[in-house]
Amino acid sequence: MDISDRSSAIPLLCPIPVHPALGVIEEVHGPVIDIFCNRLPPLHQALYVCLDNERYIFEVHRHLDESRVRAIALHRTSGLRRLMPVFDTGGPLQIPVTAACLGRLLDIFGNPLDGGPPLNTQEYRPIVTTPSPLSEAENTSEVLRTGIKVIDLLCPFVRGGKTGLFGGAGVGKTVLIMEFMNAIIRLHHGASVFAGVGERIREGHELWHDMQDSGVMPRTLMVFGQMDESPGVRFRIGLSALTYAEYLRDHVAKEVLFLMDNAFRFVQAGSELSGLLGRMPATVGYQPTLLSEVAELQERISSNHSGSITAVEAVYVPADDMTDPAVGAILAHLDTTVILSRNQAAKGIYPAVDPLASGSRMMDRVTVGERHSRVAQTVREHLARYRELEDIIAMLGLEALSEVDRQTVLRARLLERYLTQPFFVVAEHTGIAGISVPLETTLKDCEDFISGKYDDLPEERCYMRGGMRDGI
């Protein structure tokens, strides 16, 4: 097959080709493009065709034989046809990086989605790269305070670590993510990068405007790969956002909060790509490369001498099965697990964190201290005992319990309501001003609850407030 003859038969739609022709399109199957090449490009190389004076970018994912590659389109494939000349960019997909990206809404290529001007910069970074060298990695044994009582007390975040936020629709996941952004910006003067993986356009629009209204947008970058886009976009949007987070860590802010919604959609996009590329499925139909694909993303989230990236990833749990292979692959990389419970939300407990199912590797006496460990353990014991007795209370009433159990239930109910908190980012909707509570205040209040100091206080007096000494 003569590439030169084929290429010359098709007029170029770009006015001036920037790179030499690599080959021609041989077949188009949805987002999958088979390309006949005069030389094989390496895996993950970014190729493109010119259509209507625009570049349609492909990413090489498979070598079929000595002269053909299979690539995934990062644009819609409408208008593509056989024998169109394909050009080589000379490297993997690169995006423009600059400190001016804060406050912007971008796509996977760094193009604006907010109607603003393009990023004005000459610096570009590849989205597919290796993590920081082990010699440059910083230890992640420091707690990152958020000012959220239940998080700081029972499942503290690790500075430079990874947190999984497990929850379904309607339990306050987005609000909690926005509050984390607000905390990083307000308490640590850092920056936030939000990766919308397979985001619905309605959700993305609402989130964007909510962040503007809450005042966190000037120190936030949002990168969206929408639900209707190519699986290649949904698969790579996390790496694109993470590239921006790495740039901000190295040049703009010591503290960078990286948020992904939803990590499960990243796995789904990888599974879709795997099927399109012709791989045989593995466990429960997932791609055989599941573990390595998750690790490729997670291992990029790291700290170095310049600063730290702290990740908070929303994770959907299929059929509430925590043993699902996708959930297990993500769990293996997490330092903190926050489970949002629909039962908590139904009772009006917000944030709807399940205090017994959630946990952190930082919860030991050496890291958080003897006092914090002891108070957190005692609070868990009270809440666990209350949960054990709930069925008995529902059937026989509180009077059927022993005096000790009645006292435990009373204090557990007070603690449960105390661990609610009004958030800054929804103050306009709730009419309650947001509150950030220092850990020392939370520990002292919990000690007072456990000792019985507030036994005579009505439960509603503990609900949706900051410290107990505020207003008593």
Task: Please list the active-site residues.
Answer: 173, 199-200
- Distance from C-alpha of 100 to C-alpha of 250, rounded to nearest angstrom: 14
Write down the residue that tokens 């500075």 correspond to.
159
Collapsed DSSP state (helix, strand, coil) of residue 466: coil
User: Is the Cα torsion angle 243, 249, 253, 258 positive or negative in sign?
Assistant: positive
How does DSSP classify residue 156? P
Neighbours of 238 (CB within 10 A): 28
Q: Residues 446, 452, 455, 456: what is their CA dihedral angle, to the nearest 10 degrees? A: -120
Supply 98's token pair: 């600059």
**DSSP single-letter state for residue 160:** T
DSSP 40-84: PPPTT-EEEEEETTEEEEEEEEEE-SSSEEEEEESS--TT--TT-
Select from 218, 286, 274, 216 the least CA-distant residue to 31: 274
**Angle between helices 439-451 and 403-418 in degrees, nearest 10:** 160
Q: What span, in angstroms and rounded, lies between the C-alpha atoms of 160 and 164?
A: 13
Q: How far apart are alpha carbons 382 and 419 in whole angstroms?
A: 13
DSSP β-bridge partners for residue 304: 307
Residue pair 312/139 in contact by the 8 Å Cβ criterion: no
